[in-house]
Amino acid sequence: MTVSKWMHVGTVLKMNAYNYPNKLGCQDKFKSFTFKEWNERACRLSNALQDMGVGYGDRVAILAYNRVEWMDIYAACAKGGQIAVPIMFRLTPLEYEYIINHAECKAFIVEEPFVEGVNIIRGKLTCVPASNYIYIGEGKAPEGYIHYEEILSKGNPQEPDVIVDAQDTWTIMYTSGTTGKPKGVMRNHESYLGQYFLSNLSMGVKPTDKVLLVMPMCHVNSIFYSFAYTYVTAPVMVYNMTSFDAEDLLKTLAEYKITFTSLVPTHYIMILSLPDEIKQKYDVSNIRQLLISSAPARKDLKLAIMDYFKSAELWEAYGSTEAALVTLLRPEDQFHKLGSIGKEIFGIDRIKLLDEDGNEVPDGEVGELYSRSPGNFQEYWKDPEKTREVFKGEWCSAGDMARRDEDGYYYLVDRKKNMIITGGENVYPSEVENVLGAHPAIKDVAVIGVPDIKWGELVTAVVVLHQDYQSSPELAKELIEFTKGKLAGYKRPKKVKFINDEDMPRTATGKILHRILREEFDKLSDAN
């Protein structure tokens, strides 16, 4: 008997296959499946995994670039109660090893480009039986692997004979590990359902919509904006890519008549940096909604997006792997609340902004952001101490600092761990970045604290320039002067460092890794 009566995505897919068997369910650039075909593939995979000894509650690791098979895998795990453990493809084999052993995975699905790396650490993956390595790719499976399509051909096409409760865990998603070892974020079906329903309610998703998933399928953003569309029978397209190509994305948006996609600021910057003759080649008028997520967007960037995608509503979302979607800045608020992350999405409790003593701060002051919603995660896998650190009762924090204005709109100030303390004063990098980012020379910028004997930390801007600009001491001085009158003196950068775009350390979702920059500068300081 189930505890929760909410239908997980495995059941929803089954019903879509019954009621809309011939409607497009999911696709990528090379393959497409109706709801009936997709449902059968998910059933076959789930049953095949059970036959391999990977059943209800067992973990399945997945390492692959974006491709439509991800939709099979997530749906299969929902149907059979297996737990998906997606692995970020930019990690190293040693990092694969840690995650798979920590999660005690009993099967490993590996795409062709990663086989060599996996083979390096395969002998150390003691939890994965030798027979449970599954290969996704063209041609014959390499030695020691069974082909994904062979698995499907052997699996029973009937619905798995398993009762899966919406309160059962569906995914364990490891954080990027910007501090210490990555943590396994456990999310159950119900937390995703809460996200889907509230997001669809807030944004008005329709059966006639079509979503393009550009973010990595191993990232929570793609899970949030995939099956949400499946719930209303809208098709889902997974964008095949190993590296981001701005023109190809525009071409795909136009060719497949996409109505919605979620991108990070870096993606938008790259699109808008294309020559006008390229941008004008593609008809993007089918886009009715765009989302900015995963990293704060500067005001000038938002205005440029709205100018190019003229038929689209622009939304901005704030959330995290742990807390799901927390706020939305709606299209009608973009002009008079630029810079804000919006208000609470429909269906969640009032956000709490707390000081270090756990007291709520008044409007206008900065506090750590805590939220309570149906989308909150369960716990960190095998880490009760870290779990306790992010919860205050039922309120959950991702470690972000924010303030609320008198109208109830929130402004993300920065990551708590990125805060710079200079001369005893707190400086939040994003505030400085927003000011510097308005300078026409700057393509991207990260502000960090560099150790300093006098000040403790020196506010330092790490800058990527647009192609038409050259780094120079004069330009560095100009950028520092640009902040005069816009920021308090202690917040203004004291140094500017120019780097190439490819040298800016980022997560797979485009977030700048301030920690890595600080470490690099610390090494230089130590060397001197």
Would you list the domain boundaries of the chain? 30-164, 191-415, 419-527
**Mean pLDDT computed over 361-372:** 94
Q: What is the pLDDT of residue 179?
A: 43
Phi, psi of 225 (to 5 degrees): -110, 25
Other beta carbons within 10 angstroms of residue 276's beta carbon come to 8
CA distance 222 to 176: 15
Based on its alpha-carbon atoms, the radius of gyration of the chain, rounded to whole angstroms, reads 23
Query: pLDDT digits over 418-431, tens only?
Result: 778 786 566 778 77
pLDDT tier at 400 (50, 70, 90 boundaries)?
confident
* Predicted confidence (pLDDT) per residue in 15-34, tens digit: 999 999 999 999 999 999 99
Taking the CA atoms of 170, 176, 177 and 178 in sequence, report the sign of the dihedral they define. Answer: negative
d(CA 447, CA 177): 20
Q: Which residues contact 336 (CB under 8 A, 6 or more apart)?
A: none
pLDDT at 221 exceeding the cut of 80: yes
Residue 56 · residue 170 · CB < 8 Å:
no
Q: Which pLDDT value is given to residue 525? A: 52
Looking at residue 524, its pLDDT comes to 53
Contact call for residues 368 and 400 (beta carbons, < 8 A)? yes
What's the CATH number for 419-527?
A: 3.30.300.30
Identify the pLDDT of residue 177: 46
In this structure, are strands 32-34 and 313-320 parallel, antiparallel, or unpaired?
unpaired
What is the mean pLDDT of the segment spanning 409-422?
A: 79
Place of tokens 């008079």: 336
Question: Would 30-164 and 191-415 be classified into the same CATH topology?
Answer: yes
- When pLDDT is cut at 50, 70 and 90, the band that residue 335 belongs to is confident
DSSP secondary structure of 425-455? EEE-HHHHHHHHTTSTTEEEEEEEEEEETTT
Distance CA 66, CA 203 (A): 25
Give Dmax over CA atoms of the chain in angstroms.
71
Residue 12 has pLDDT above 90, yes or no: yes
Reported as a single tens digit per residue, the pLDDT across 150-176 is 999 999 999 999 999 999 999 999 985
Stretch 222-230: mean pLDDT, rounded? 95
Over 90: is that where the pLDDT of 481 sits? yes
Dihedral, CA of residue 410, residue 414, residue 419 and residue 423, to nearest 10: -50
The domain 30-164 is placed in CATH, from the list 1.10.10.10, 3.40.50.2300, 3.40.50.980, 3.40.630.10, at 3.40.50.980
Rounded to a whole number, what is the distance in angstroms from the first to the last CA of the chain?
A: 66
Is the pLDDT assigned to residue 312 strictly greater than 70? yes
270 or 46: whose pLDDT is higher? 46
pLDDT value, residue 455 = 73
| Of the candidates 518, 523, 527, the residue with the CA atom closest to the CA atom of residue 420 | 518
CATH of domain 191-415: 3.40.50.12780
> CA 315 to CA 88: how far, in whole Å?
26
The pLDDT of residue 178: 40
Over the chain, what is the mean pLDDT? Answer: 91
Highest mean pLDDT among 33-47, 239-253, 260-274, 306-320: 33-47
What is the average pLDDT across 295-301?
72
Q: Which tens digit of pLDDT belongs to each residue from 93-148? A: 888 999 999 999 999 999 999 999 999 999 999 999 999 999 999 999 999 999 99
